[in-house]
Structure 1
């Protein structure tokens, strides 16, 4: 195991977890409310949420689902199918740690529904989009395969454009964790691996980032020029949306905003997390996606050490519950994912040998 790749994988996992935990206390807030209360929020706070630990530094359902997907990958020792992911999802998930959509999916799968289509008709939700990053890790250097795997696995929990957003994030991580990657190559890869509405939404958000002088300017422009009340479920009206009473968890907002934050921060991991949090609205989702991608790009060594230690400590109970192992944490999961990469290398070498034999 090389130190560099282990640090990058750990950076992806812990960067995502930090963004999730840092953004949780202000989920649903507007950027004006965050500024009024905290100025710039950049330290963990205790929070009130029905499906999380709520201690300062504890993760929410975004990271819960990501670690379950990671566990499915390491237990299978390879890329996984919806059946394999769905089995671990049902076996290991504590329903008290997830939102209603994930509870519904567990019930569907437990009733025998096909995991390849159990996400059909789901509420627009970005939990799987936040969770998909380990698929990018195991598809290092193969963003097209990561996109395909991400799209297929998203079908377990998502439907419609949300699946495309999930696949785009997987492709971005597959590039970010590749040696020699830059924020420019990551964003180019994500743009190339984006389709339909997601392609257009990312194009608008990145354009706003490139036209903005500061993150604060970008956030104001995103609120004024990018948000679309039609992304909400139909029972919410336009007035409540614009008055800040409700917010969208739709990937058509969250993924483009996360990418815009990465662009305005030039991919710097700590800044990307902070600005993702202070954007507000679905702040933990924006920051966890930005933190995962920037963490994979730059590695855990670039992430604030106080964040890492506090986040690891605050989630010991979660890991003990998930893996029944007092020594399990984000770093140990990163090491196990590197082991999967080693097996993927061995399989690729064996296939190359077989192709050479038949093509001689």
Structure 2
């Protein structure tokens, strides 16, 4: 539970959490329809500016991908970890791993199995049962006969993979505002190796979480980057991630933002490139819309770079800065808002929701939403 905050501080925190999740989902949806297209083909199909709003993907406009799905299940896992602490158990990577296993089930099942008591309310959202081009490492790390064994730093899953699936789901760790930055970094790392074991993959996730964490505490993006660089310097095999962050800062100073400058940072299929592109676009953004459009109009993993940029701009400016037209058409907006608010409730008022002094019938409400058995 967080220290006692004023009402204004609580409202600011909720706005930033909502902004982070919704901004990431908007960026994800903007890139979903052009994820596998080259910049040349994007411009040929949509004009010299590229896409300027949603384009159809998976049968409709405003559709999110596996990036947003995994962010939501990350939040679900973190909430359950805090609930479980009431019973004396405290190992958040285990709860996040179980949440990711529930996500993996949505990629093959037709819909929720109501006989499964551990689903919770998020696992019963039928719209989440849709395959949206999930990353190979994410799926292979969470399926198969060995899926119940969580990866660890000593024995990570997919030890040679540094795909961007580590980074695009890592923003929620940064929203643990009462934690120290070193612990936020470490948690993001330990939850990355559940599916991706290459150091650049998990260190990029740790760096991203620390940048989000700095901003949600009221700092700037630049301050977050410099703190991330300091923490990276203490880790072995940090060079690729460090170079990517420095490359993003150098690109900001290089001149007017452009798609070509974005492409100088890579395509975003691997973790450090996705982080660099999303960060660069957030740093140079005049507003959320311009930053998000810059983040998706390039040759590469447009939905993931858009999601990362959206997480950063959303946590920086809060939900009121989100483009209303894009927000109105966003798939799953109600679910995302509800989960964001539940996360805030848990962090601000956890004992009032499930503390041992509550009557059993009152504890059962939250336990039904976030079961820990």
Q: Shared fold (TM-score greater than 0.5)? A: yes
- Give distance in 1, aligned partners of 2:170 and 2:213: 11
Partner of 2:212: 173
1:37 is aligned to 2:37: no
Query: Residues 78-106 of structure 1: CA distance to partner in whole angstroms, max 9, x if unpaired?
Result: 68532211112223431242333222122
Query: Structure 1: any 5+ residue segments left out of the alignment?
Result: 48-52, 228-246, 317-327, 347-360
Partner of 2:171: 133
Partner of 1:77: 82
Does the 8 Å contact 1:108/1:118 carry over to 2?
no
Partner of 1:189: 227
- Give distance in 1, aligned partners of 2:351 and 2:293: 35
1:204 is aligned to 2:227: no
Partner of 1:329: 335
Does the 8 Å contact 2:165/2:271 carry over to 1?
no
Q: How does 1:242-261 map to 2 (within 5 A)?
A: 249-261=269-281
Out of 284, 301, 306, the position equivalent to 2:325 is 306
* CA separation of 1:212 and 1:137: change in aligned 2, threshold 3 A: same
1:105 is aligned to 2:125: no
Aligned residues: 303
- Give distance in 2, aligned partners of 1:137 and 1:76: 14
RMSD: 2.5
TM-score by length of 1: 0.77
Out of 313, 319, 332, the position equivalent to 1:315 is 332
- Give distance in 2, aligned partners of 1:82 and 1:18: 27
* CA separation of 1:43 and 1:199: change in aligned 2, threshold 3 A: same
TM-superposed deviation, 1:189: 3.0
* CA separation of 1:140 and 1:55: change in aligned 2, threshold 3 A: farther
- Give distance in 2, aligned partners of 1:265 and 1:310: 22
- Give distance in 2, aligned partners of 1:109 and 1:204: 40
Partner of 1:238: none
Does the 8 Å contact 1:11/1:300 carry over to 2?
yes
Does the 8 Å contact 2:29/2:303 carry over to 1?
yes
Does the 8 Å contact 1:138/1:337 carry over to 2?
no
Does the 8 Å contact 2:141/2:195 carry over to 1?
yes
Does the 8 Å contact 1:6/1:335 carry over to 2?
yes
TM-superposed deviation, 1:343: 5.3
Partner of 1:354: none
Q: How does 1:22-171 map to 2 (within 5 A)?
A: 22-39=30-47, 40=49, 41-47=51-57, 53-77=58-82, 81-93=92-104, 94-96=106-108, 97=131, 98-108=134-144, 111-116=147-152, 117-121=155-159, 123-140=161-178, 142-160=180-198, 161-171=200-210
Task: Choose 19-28 or 108-117, whichever is displaced more.
Answer: 108-117
Partner of 2:360: none
Does the 8 Å contact 1:124/1:158 carry over to 2?
yes
| Bigger fraction of residues in helix | 1
Query: Structure 2: any 5+ residue segments left out of the alignment?
Result: 1-6, 84-89, 109-130, 233-237, 353-373
TM-superposed deviation, 1:170: 0.6
- Give distance in 1, aligned partners of 2:147 and 2:254: 50
